[in-house]
Amino acid sequence: MEKTLAKKSFSQWVKKLSSWSVYIPRKDEEGRWNYAEADSGGVSLDVLQTTLPPKKILFPQREVFLEFAKTLAGNRETLEIKEVLPEVKPTVIIGARPCEARAAWMLDEVFGGEFKDAYYWRRRDQTALVGFACTIPPSENCFCTSVEGSPHSEEGLDILLTDLGDRYYVQSMTAKGEKLISAAKELFEEPKPEARKQVKAAHAESEKKIRRQLKDARPIAEKLKGMFDSPLWDEESMSCLRCGICTYLCPSCHCFDISDEVDNPSPLRGQRVRTWDTCQFPDFTMHSSGHNPRPDKASRLRQRLLHKFQYFIQVYDKFMCVGCGRCITLCPVGIDIIKVLDKVRDHGA
Amino acid sequence: MAEDYEPRIVAFLCKWCSSAGSDLAGVSRMEYPPNVVPIQVMCSGSISPLYIFSAFNRGADGVLVSGCHPGDCHYIKGNYYARRRLNLVKKLLEYVGLETQRFQMSWVSAAEGTKYTQIIKDFVKELKPLGPQTKLRRNP
Amino acid sequence: MAKIEDLKDEARKLLREGKVKYIIGYGAGSNGWPAAPLFIKKPEDVDKLVWDPTCVHNLVRFLVDEKRRKARQRQPDKRPVGIMVKGCDSRAVVVLLQEKFIDRNDVYILGVSCEKTGVVDDTKLAKKLPGKKAKKIEVDAQNRFVVTTEEGKTEVAAAEILAERCLECKANFPVIYDLLSGEKTKRSLDEPFGSLQKIESLSAADRWSFWKEQLDRCIRCYACRSACPMCYCDECVVDSINLAVTAETTADEKAQRIRWIQRSAESSENLVYHLVRAIHLAGRCIDCGECERACPLDIPLRFLNKKLEKEAKELFGYEVGFDAALPALVSCFRDEDPQDFIR
Amino acid sequence: MELNVYTPKLAKIVQAKDEVVGTRTIKTFRTEFANGARFDYRCGQCAMLSVFGKGEAMISISSSPLIRDYLQFSILRTGRVTAALHDMEVGDLIGVRGPYGNGFPIDEWRGKNLVFIGGGIGLAPLWSVVQTALLRKSEFGTLSLIYGARTSRDLVFKDELADLKSQMPVHLSIDVAEPDWKEFVGFVPTNVLEKKPSPANTIAITCGPPIMIKFVIKNLKDLKFEDDQIYTTVENKMKCGLGKCGRCNIGFHYVCKDGPVYSWAELKKLPQEY
């Protein structure tokens, strides 16, 4: 279904979505963008890139799995566990970027499959993604076109809005999208033929503006297979600080830890929670004997790149990197995966 | 504040002086509020700031560290170190916005049973109006 | 800003004579910020060294990684490592020497002087030139910053985009060095703890809501701990993220290890983590500002350590990072240390 | 109610036997499900045991799947969860979820001789397939076990090994000589060279510390065993057991889902990241 929506009636549409809980990027006084529940306040849409991707709504940093409690009845101790599945209201994330929606589409693969992850799918099934096509590249390190994405890709999105000056061209790809549109039918008009031409031109134009490029990404994935023991990883990871920024802020990174958090030791009461985890921390793979298959920064940088540019392709036949550029922009020491992968491509050339 | 609210205080008492002082108060049957969970330590200098933050994190409404008067320390200078380190802790907690009355330090010698009871009485009196401590507390 | 030709010559000589293993310096970055850490092993790469107001990183952190790498090797190469240090960074080297973490001949210090200016704060720059990306930043004769972006050059007064710590700088040229590039110029400094006033002047309730709102945003990526040259413990007491287990660690030690805070990024756990980190930096933090710069959410962490630095000076007359022979702040005392807060 | 793959079933400990006391203590537990829940598994699969308040640990099931009424786990005391398990007594409740992993492809080995080579606690995952092979003895050729540990005290299933000797040749070894030790003294891989199992129509299955597995495989290759005649299990840190949490991978394989059992032919192709 394709419609157009006047820009001036955009905030009315948001108000009409009262039965959804609406997340919208909000800018704080320091100029940082982050998702926040939309209140009645105005909706400013000159967002470029949020620091934390929409992943934090679909795959929150803390998810309670179950609660456990011991009760003392006389001298008999009984233990019960109570499963805690999230109760999620229908949600809509407005302002997601096409690359972040592609990342959600990849998380669907990981959390689907043979063992479906009930916690993820409770949220995912209730959440609609309304994306903005990137007429201006959100970051100077965007390279989505190099990893089979584009500034107007539709995977993972329910609605794609493209800015045509005074109105948005609305493309809805799913039933969820149609429901969002029908919630305020009167605001949407049928697209005029020249609007269709305009949106095609806008999309083509936006692809040319992507600032960074990773040439021949697929052959790099092939070449990575032979570079497991290359000294390149040691050289490139010399300046790595071993923090978790590149993985926590990556829209497609999904590694997690499961740990028990005790509120009251006796009688025992607490919860089992899932929290984000990162392959960059030493504890991630350390055996209880102290042996660590990935003992140093080099092996962890290698793991981060191989997982995204080789392993994920071998299993799901698509890159796990969506080219949003966050890990490049926000790395405190400027480790640039495009530069590292360029070196892999040109290695031995 | 609900009249029946009873603040819970964690008191780190140095074994040689303050803990002995609190024993003297007990042996002499002195009356003082039962809100204190005493933890005996070998010296006030052995109190790591982590214990204080953790006590507040696990639900303490007030934390007291009590050691020997300067010069009485069984290990000569433990209380001098404590004086400097815990002063920094107090300033940091205040700076972050925790009510200043919640963290107290005192010198109580083995003979000062009455002083110990007075300190606890004053501490409970000061904590009552503040209500339960929710700032550092784990999911209050 | 010093011209570093003499430093480059020294660097080439050191590498040619094999006096140092490699040199840690600043080179061109590629992620949008002009400068980035650079490791040089070969003399011909020395030309890549740059020195300009975007060299904000504190490279002393990599001395910690060097020590860890040597500890893992069976026959480590004992030669020193060359390192480019600004004034503030050099005080970090002093603290590492003071704490005997590194030995003086582990490191060959190539000092650079900031002279009249200092380094740029990325947030201030982004606010000053919104939407534009700086390609290059230089200092002109009148010590103003000349920022080159895609649209050309713009001149900015230094004070507008200087990093907060540079405005309160205590050492605009290195206090310890094997070679110093640039002049030992005196600088008119702002009020030493000026930036702290705006928080200290708040009421207790406002300070609490300020810190709670800031630390609630923390996602515990530990960039602040990873970027800090003083945070070099193999096993951080606060969390089990980097448990240092060796073959000799017994099952009991692992089983009884106390988890002081939970792994979830809840506000109470974030607060305790940052409080413990701040108190562990009392009398050790030299205000290089890396924790705040590295934080992806720009949480003003510097103000936690700055407060304790101010208390250390006012209460105990203790200054950090100038004298490697000084005992640590918390392992010494004075008779006249204040005790008014003790009953 | 959709099946939530992370929620463990409650199981009661019905038997707790000390296998090794002193340092490197090992205990064997038998558990029955609190509400008689079914738990079908293949030999060599593992289960995630939960001690609530401490965490979870992936432990291989050492009982044979043909024995229905209990699950058996032999656990080395080595960290927070395993220490908590060791402190448990009969009647305590733990969580069990699973089964996880691909298990030993025992049906593919019909008609073949089986040589089991174990080291220390490595006998626990092997025990499941040894018991199953014994119960289906007619389907296989000769069975034999080469097993060793640091000291005689560290041997696991001491009494079961005694009566196993009557059913198959059992070659025990300890690393350092002890006064009343009659059998082989030395490392397990050397014992393998000593006993020279013949590769003809034989499958060798080895579990134990990674360093032992490396040399056992080398020695088996010297004895002309083909790559697809050697099977082993890979141990990596695991948290989810479902191939999602991202930590146990070697190459693009998740050990908890695609492993832990690999033939050397498969394992050789993967990066040595375990």
Higher pLDDT, C243 or D165: D165
Residues C251-269 have pLDDT tens digits of: 888 888 888 999 999 999 9
- Lowest mean pLDDT across C43-52, C189-198, D45-54, D224-233: C189-198
Q: Do A307 and D239 touch (CB under 8 A)?
A: no
CB < 8 Å from D in window 11-40 of A: none
Q: Give residue A42's pLDDT.
A: 61
Q: How far apart are CA C157 and CA C144, in angstroms?
A: 5
- Does residue B139 belong to any structural domain of this protein? no
Mean pLDDT, rounded, of chain C: 92
Cβ pairs bridging C and D (under 8 Å): 17
Please compute the mean of the pLDDT values over residues C123-141 and round it to a whole number.
89
Cβ-nearest to B139 among C268, C304, C331: C268
User: For position B34, which CATH number holds?
Assistant: 3.40.1400
| Chain C partners within 8 Å of D23 (Cβ) | 250
Q: Which residues from D are below 8 Å from C252, CB to CB?
A: 83
Residue B131 gets the label, from left (phi > 0), alpha (psi -120 to 50) or beta, of left
**C203 SS3 class:** coil
Which of C207, C339, C342 minimises the CB distance to B96?
C207
* Rounded average pLDDT over D130-148: 94
Q: Looking at the predicted structure, is the pLDDT value of residue D1 above 60? A: no
Per the structure block, which two tokens stand in for D194? 């000593």
d(CA A150, CA A207): 7
Q: Do A256 and D244 touch (CB under 8 A)?
A: yes
Question: In the predicted model, what is the mean pLDDT of chain D?
Answer: 93
pLDDT tens track, chain B, 140 positions: 556 899 999 999 999 999 999 999 999 999 999 999 999 999 999 999 999 999 999 999 999 999 999 999 999 999 999 999 999 999 999 999 999 999 999 999 999 999 999 999 999 999 999 999 999 999 76
Domain ranges of chain A: 2-345
Distance (Å) from the alpha carbon of A36 to chain D's nearest alpha carbon: 27
Give domain status of residue B28, yes or no: yes
Range of the domain at B93: 9-41+48-128
Q: In Å, how far is A332's CA from the nearest CA of chain C?
A: 5
Beta strands A91-96 and A76-83 are: unpaired
Chain D CB within 8 Å of residue C258 CB: no
Nearest by CB: C123 against A30, A52, A238:
A30
Distance separating alpha carbons of residues A115 and D3, to the nearest angstrom? 9
Say yes or no: ipTM exceeds 0.90: yes
In A, minimum Cα distance to C24 occurs at: A239
- To the nearest whole Å, the CA of A347 is away from the closest chain D CA by 20
| Paired tokens of C64 | 């910690």
The DSSP result for A188-257, as a single string, is: EEPPPHHHHHHHHHHHHHHHHT-----SSHHHHHHHHTT-TT-THHHHHTTT----SHHHHT-TT---EE
CATH code: domain D106-233 is 3.40.50.80
**Tens of each residue's pLDDT in chain A, 349 residues:** 899 999 888 888 988 998 999 999 988 877 788 998 887 666 667 778 899 999 999 999 999 999 999 998 777 788 999 999 999 999 999 999 999 999 999 999 999 998 999 999 999 999 999 999 999 999 999 999 999 999 999 999 999 999 998 899 999 999 999 999 999 999 999 999 989 999 999 999 999 999 999 999 999 999 999 999 999 999 999 999 999 999 999 999 999 999 999 998 888 999 999 999 999 999 899 988 888 999 999 999 999 999 999 999 999 999 999 999 999 999 999 999 999 999 999 987 6
Model pLDDT, residue C195: 84
Cβ distance C251 to D84 less than 8 Å, yes or no, reads no
C-alpha distance from D224 to closest chain C C-alpha (Å): 34
CA distances from B19 to B23, B36, B54 (A): 6, 12, 21
Domain positions in chain C are 1-122+163-190, 198-343
Residues of chain D with CATH 3.40.50.80: 106-233
Chain D residues close to A265, C-beta within 8 Å? 53
Fold (topology level) of D9-100 = Elongation Factor Tu (Ef-tu); domain 3 (2.40.30)
Inter-chain residue contact C275 with B53, CB threshold 8 Å: yes
* Beta-ladder partners of D233: D261
Mean pLDDT of D61-79: 92
Task: For residue A25, say if its preceding peptide bond is cis, omega within 30 degrees of 0.
Answer: no
Query: How many Cα atoms sit within 13 Å of A295 on the Cβ side?
Result: 12
B136 bridge partner residues: none
* Euclidean distance between CA atoms C321 and C99, whole angstroms: 11
B79 contacts in C (CB within 8 Å)? none
Q: What is the pLDDT of residue A261?
A: 94
pLDDT band at residue D6 under the 50/70/90 scheme? very high
Q: For position A40, what pLDDT does the model report?
A: 62
The structure tokens listed for D262 are 């690999």
How many domains are there within chain B?
1
| CB environment D11-40: b (16+ within 10 A), e (fewer) | bebeebeebbeeebbbbbbbbeeeeeeebe
Instruction: Indicate if the pLDDT at residue C66 is higher than 80.
Output: yes
Mean pLDDT, rounded, for C63-86: 93
Cis, bond preceding D169 (omega within 30 deg of 0):
no
Report the share of chain D in percent with pLDDT over 70: 99
Interface test with D, best of C254, C257, C259, C263 (most D CBs within 10 A): C254
User: Is the pLDDT confidence value at C246 over 70?
Assistant: yes
Which of C329, C326, C246 has its CA nearest to residue C284?
A: C329
Q: What is the pLDDT of residue C43?
A: 95
